[in-house]
Structure 1
Amino acid sequence: MRQKELEKWLKIVIIAVAICGLVVCGVAIPWIGHVLIASDPQIAGMYIPWLVLFIISAVPCYLILYLGWKVASNIGKDRSFSVENARYIKLASKILLVDAVYFFVINICLWKVYVNHPGVILALVFIVFAGVVLSVVAAVLSHLVVKAADLQEQSDLTI
């Protein structure tokens, strides 16, 4: 697959993920909240804090999609293994980690003020764990891209 074609497909995937995120945050989560409130009016006080939690948690995801767009653009310019791409991936790793920690801390705080259920916290631990794992994978990928950029630079100098 050529670089321009790869860039095009990566950008299509990024747009699709962004649209899916908008549908989830703008339609699915509010709808699920209203369904839950209709079935149990006691949890009506939990709706707004949870909605705010999810919307704020979505912002870093869109920042990561923006960084992915910049990486895809660099791939299209035949700069796949560059220090710039490594920097973008490293920043995405940090954003992922901060988002996972934020999600965990906010859930604990909501539980402490009786707006969260302990069972929900246990389920969300898996989401936090996935965020931490993705953060570590992105950090490792960033390191590997730096190494590949160094090797490419050495190869370019010897030829």
Structure 2
Amino acid sequence: MEQKHLSKWLKLILIGVGICGLILYAAVIPMYGLSLRTLYPELSNRFWPWLIFIWVSGIPCFMVVYFAWKIAKNIGKDLSFTEQNASFLKKISALSVGDAGFFFAGNIVLLFLNMSHPGIVIASFGISFIGVAVAVVSAVLSYLVKKAAALQEQSDWTI
């Protein structure tokens, strides 16, 4: 597959991910929260803390999409194995592990404030695990891209 073609596919996928994320964070989650608040009026004091918590936890996700877009752009320029892409992957790794930690700690805090349920905290283990898995994969890819960039630079100097 040609680099520009691959880059276009990656960008198309990232646009889809971004649109799905916007729909989820801007429409689905608030509507679901409003319906829960209507069904259970005694839980209405938990709506805004949870909504703000979820919105804040979504910010790193959109930052990851931004860095992935920059990587796709570099791939389109035939700059797949560069220090810059390795740096972007390292940033994605840091954002993923940070978001996973924030999400888990926030769930614990909301549990201690009696604004959550232990089942929700247990479910957050799975979400945090996915975030850590993305972080590990990104860190490994960053390392491999960095090594490939060094090899490519070495071979560029060889005639």
TM-score bin, normalised by smaller chain: over 0.9
The residue correspondences of 1:6-155 to structure 2 (distance < 5 A) are 6-155=6-155
- What residue in structure 2 maps to residue 158 of structure 1? 158
Hey, what's the Cα distance between the residues in 2 that align with 1:66 and 1:38? 36
Cα shift at 1:39: 2.0
**Alpha-carbon distance in structure 1 between the residues aligned to 2:138 and 2:12:** 21
For 2:64, give the aligned amino acid.
I
Unaligned runs of 5+ in 1: none
**Number of paired residues?**
159
In 2, Cα distance between equivalents of 1:106 and 1:124: 10
Q: What displacement does 1:36 show?
A: 1.4
Deviation, structure 1 residue 78? 0.5
Cα distance in 2 between the residues matched to 1:14 and 1:100:
21
Query: Counterparts of 2:43 and 2:6 in 1: how far apart (Å)?
Result: 47
Cα shift at 1:43: 1.4
Structure 1 runs of 4+ aligned residues shifted over 2 Å read: none
Q: Secondary structure at the match of 2:56?
A: helix
Matching residue's letter, 1:125 = F
Structure 2, unpaired ranges of 5+:
none
Q: Deviations over 1:119-155 (max 9, x none)?
A: 1100111001110111011000100001111111111
How far is 1:38 from its partner?
Answer: 2.1
Cα deviation code 1:65-123 (max 9, x no counterpart): 11011101110111100011000000110011111111111111111111111111001
For residues 113 and 59 of structure 2, the distance between their equivalents in structure 1, rounded to whole angstroms, comes to 24
Letter in 2 for 1:62: F
Percent identity among equivalent residues? 47
Q: What TM-score results when the alignment is normalised by the length of structure 2? A: 0.97
